[in-house]
Structure 1
Amino acid sequence: MNLFRTKSIEQMRETAAHSGMAKTLGAFDLILLGIGCVIGTGIFVLTGVAAAKYAGPAVTISFMISGLACALAGLAYAEFSSIVPASGSAYTYTYASLGEFIAFIVGWNLILEYTVTASAVASGWSGYVTGLLLSAGIDPGHALTHVPADGGIINIPAIFITLLLSVLLIRGTQESTKLNRILVGVKLTAIAIFLLLAIPHVDTMNWEPFMPFGVSGIFGGAAIVFFAYIGFDAVATSAEECKNPSHDLPIGIIGSLVICTALYVVVAGVLTGIVPYTELNNPEPVAFALRYIGYNLGSAVVGVGAIAGITTVLLVLLYGQARIFFAMSRDGMVPARVCKIHKRYHTPYIVTVMGGIFVSIIAGFVPIGVIAEMANIGTLSAFLVAAIGVLVLRITKPDVPRTFRCPLVWLIAPLAVLTCGYLMYHLPWETWVRFIVWCTFGCLVYFGYSYQHSALAHPHDDEE
């Protein structure tokens, strides 16, 4: 069995050039796309959880470590994106370098990562909106805003926002990008307000002890907050809708990563400087911190910014999920008929609808536990494989055109592998068990369907 057959880069480029999707995104759009997905749940929720339970005030170092791991992997992604300007991010890159079976497992894990994370973010959006309604004197009812396991019947807000954004994504990438620009502006304004109000109240005594959980706590926190950095992978999924992907994608990936890491470190430092880290284990730590120092109105404004922030995260996650699925269906890994492009809107509408419905069902009826860990292990594994793949391509295809070359690749890529692997090591063992079970199920799908239906197994079908 030829499990490690690879797709030719020339074929990928040709397919991407004639995908039928509208090419409307520039480098600035890609940076905002990354910020739209990275700055959201992580900065408005995970900063507090990671500080209270894992790293204490040293959560700033946790974000730096996660940012470093992403930067190392991001350089590999950037080189890949300049070689293979096609949808699918790490799945597509692996298919070109390490072969079909490994690519399928990477894509399988990315679908899980995007679906589970989007469901969690939709539930978080529901929680923020419900809280805002309650503070305004409007009670939407526990039964209609909570899943059965939490004493409710159905989480309607989570279903509503998921389906609404799915419809918007079907209508067109350009329209979705316009909404993302507006909401990114709102949440960056909210973060700026938080910093302006909070910085004068920073008390350095709150940073003592700086590492209450020791070095292992810092790395444990880094493994958890890695959840926040999934956005730069979503940038890579947009390749076929870029005006100049080989030039713009590296800028979008690296640019959004640098901006987001800086924001995370600053916000985490200020947050732990105004509130003792032991009090930050709550679902709205940034808004809570402003109430803690007496800015109730500022807290409400930041709450609105958090809703905008979480909305953009969900928007980009649904976008990325559809593009991964689209790339896999086009390759025959899943039924090819679902990768049709809408004749009017030029978007992969069937996979967008399927993904939106699936996410809304999970968010509406299922309690989401240990979401960050499950999303993290899938993302880390994809980054690790991509870093190996870029080295393999340097050996197997040294002469292929690269508009961006990873600097010091024989140092950067191995460091990316080691860093991502070390963060995976720090995730709970229950997460590893679930990860292995999911990968095993994926193997059954691959050998039961994908291997026989792969486009590489029927190379002449397109000619008929």
Structure 2
Amino acid sequence: MTRSLTPDPLPVDDPVARPGLGVAQGAALTLGAVLGTGVISLPALAAHEAGPASLVAWLALVLLSVPLATTFAALGARHPDGGGVSTYARRAFGGRVATVIGWCFYFAIPLGAPAAAGFAGAYVADSLGGGRQTQLVTAGLLIAAVAVMNWFGIRVSGRVQLAIAGVLAVLLLVATLVALPHASTTNLTPFAPHGWAAIGSAAALLIWAFAGWEVVTSLSSEYREPARDIGRATLVALVVMGVLYLGVAFATVAVLGSGASKAPLSDLLVLGFGEPARGVTTVVAVLLSLGAMNAYFAGSARLGAALGRDGSLPAWFAHGGSAGQVPRRSLTVVTAGSLATLLGVAITGVAIERTMLLVTGAFAIVYVVGTAAAMRLLPRGTWVHRGAVVAFVSSLALLGVSARHLLPQVVVAAAAVIWLSRSRAAAPAAPDPV
């Protein structure tokens, strides 16, 4: 017999044969999820709350991000799956907890997306005029743009995200560097004008600038080599996030002092390049919103497909949920829900930013359950397990801060339990993923 000269096909799990996210694209998606629009206004708000001592709050939250980020990275590397935190909860606590946490996160994204888009819309309205109408139209266009990016798959949205992250990093770094020559040590004294307790108040304002590590777990199965690349991508995102956040915060305090406006990034750019540079802030706001929304839409679409696969949502959602496929049905639900929320905001006349209050509790619950699952799933006695313990304690504190915003999640959790009970009564539950 003669051996065929045609090479054998590469195995499916070979990273060369399975196109997907590399370190650069994964880091860009992670950075987009974490580096939210708050970087434009939060440095000034924190400085007004605690003075120069707000820098201590920034540093503390950057350091606390390390165990949180590494915990989710370790889970993603060991258990790559589109279900993300829901999958970890299923492995650690069973299907009921997985369904509840999956619903809380999945249905929170359509409520929060208009708020993220509306933040950029406000800057566009300030630049172009048109007030609330311009803001709402801009928000709708951003939601549509993110949906289109993800409709063509993670490779397309990942490449776009890499470009967005690169432009953002350059703009924020330039804004910091051109302003630093104007820094004055007199702006650093008194260091704690409102007392040391004000650092805690400033930290409470800044917490949501550090949310986002949880969403990238749903993208873990899209990496070419999850065990190796997820950790590297997380490390890159941590370093870039820390440098940019601390740089902008320090420049806001040391350069602008007590006279910082609600848009300190604009003030920093004007110092370096003159008044025409103020319009660049609008570009930054749009890119920040686009990057964050892209990461959340990508992750939540895969989460919905995984929930459908595991019996935590109707099986209809599972279509396109395998690694390398596009979960367009789940993405359609997220997009339609986001546009419906935006329409409701337009009809009722409420401030578009108010929808964010409906989802803040969801992120805190996801962190608590995710880190609790990590303490069960990660090997004991290792540094990643110790980091999970620290992250769990920090998440409990975060949950306490968010307690007054938990009512929507209580309603969603009750609906999830009722639906799961009825679906199990009608048919056997889907087996847990191996």
Output the TM-score relative to the length of structure 1.
0.79
Residues 209-262 of structure 1: per-residue CA shift (max 9 Å, x gap): 333343443223223322122332232221121111122122222331232022
Q: CA deviation at 1:158?
A: 0.6
> 1:5-404 alignment to 2 at 5 Å?
23-52=19-48, 54-132=49-127, 134=128, 139=129, 141-142=130-131, 144-146=133-135, 155-277=136-258, 279-280=260-261, 282=262, 284-291=263-270, 295-341=274-320, 346-366=325-345, 367-369=351-353, 375-394=359-378
Cα distance change on mapping 1:290 and 1:88 into 2, 3 Å: same
Contact 1:28 1:252 survives alignment (8 Å): yes
Separation in 2 of the partners of 1:119 and 1:456? 36
Separation in 2 of the partners of 1:460 and 1:227? 35
Q: Which residue of 1 aligns with 2:388?
A: 413
Separation in 1 of the partners of 2:33 and 2:431? 39
Q: CA deviation at 1:368?
A: 3.5
Q: Which letter maps to 1:433?
A: R
Separation in 2 of the partners of 1:459 and 1:274? 58
Contact 2:358 2:408 survives alignment (8 Å): no
Q: Which residue of 2 aligns with 1:432?
A: 403
* Count of paired positions: 411
Q: Give aligned-pair identity as a percent.
A: 21
Residues 297-351 of structure 1: per-residue CA shift (max 9 Å, x gap): 33333432332232212211222222222222222222220231199x9311111
Cα distance change on mapping 1:328 and 1:316 into 2, 3 Å: same
Q: CA deviation at 1:371?
A: 6.0
Unmatched runs of 5 consecutive residues or more in structure 2 = 1-11, 346-350
Cα distance change on mapping 1:461 and 1:269 into 2, 3 Å: closer
Output the TM-score relative to the length of structure 2.
0.85
Residues 172-205 of structure 1: per-residue CA shift (max 9 Å, x gap): 2111112112221211121122022100011222
Cα distance change on mapping 1:346 and 1:388 into 2, 3 Å: closer
Q: Give SS of 1:276's match.
A: helix
Cα distance change on mapping 1:130 and 1:25 into 2, 3 Å: same
Q: CA deviation at 1:112?
A: 4.8
Separation in 2 of the partners of 1:304 and 1:131? 12
Unmatched runs of 5 consecutive residues or more in structure 1 = 1-15, 147-154, 399-404
Cα distance change on mapping 1:371 and 1:251 into 2, 3 Å: farther
Cα distance change on mapping 1:332 and 1:223 into 2, 3 Å: farther
Cα distance change on mapping 1:242 and 1:271 into 2, 3 Å: same
Q: Give SS of 2:325's match.
A: coil
Separation in 2 of the partners of 1:375 and 1:207? 36
Q: Which letter maps to 1:407?
A: W
Cα distance change on mapping 1:376 and 1:63 into 2, 3 Å: farther
Separation in 1 of the partners of 2:256 and 2:418? 54
Contact 1:73 1:384 survives alignment (8 Å): no
Separation in 2 of the partners of 1:275 and 1:39? 22
Separation in 2 of the partners of 1:335 and 1:322? 14
Q: Give SS of 1:238's match.
A: helix
Contact 2:111 2:337 survives alignment (8 Å): no
Separation in 2 of the partners of 1:111 and 1:220? 30
Separation in 1 of the partners of 2:292 and 2:60? 22
1:422 aligns with 2:417: no
Contact 2:35 2:241 survives alignment (8 Å): yes
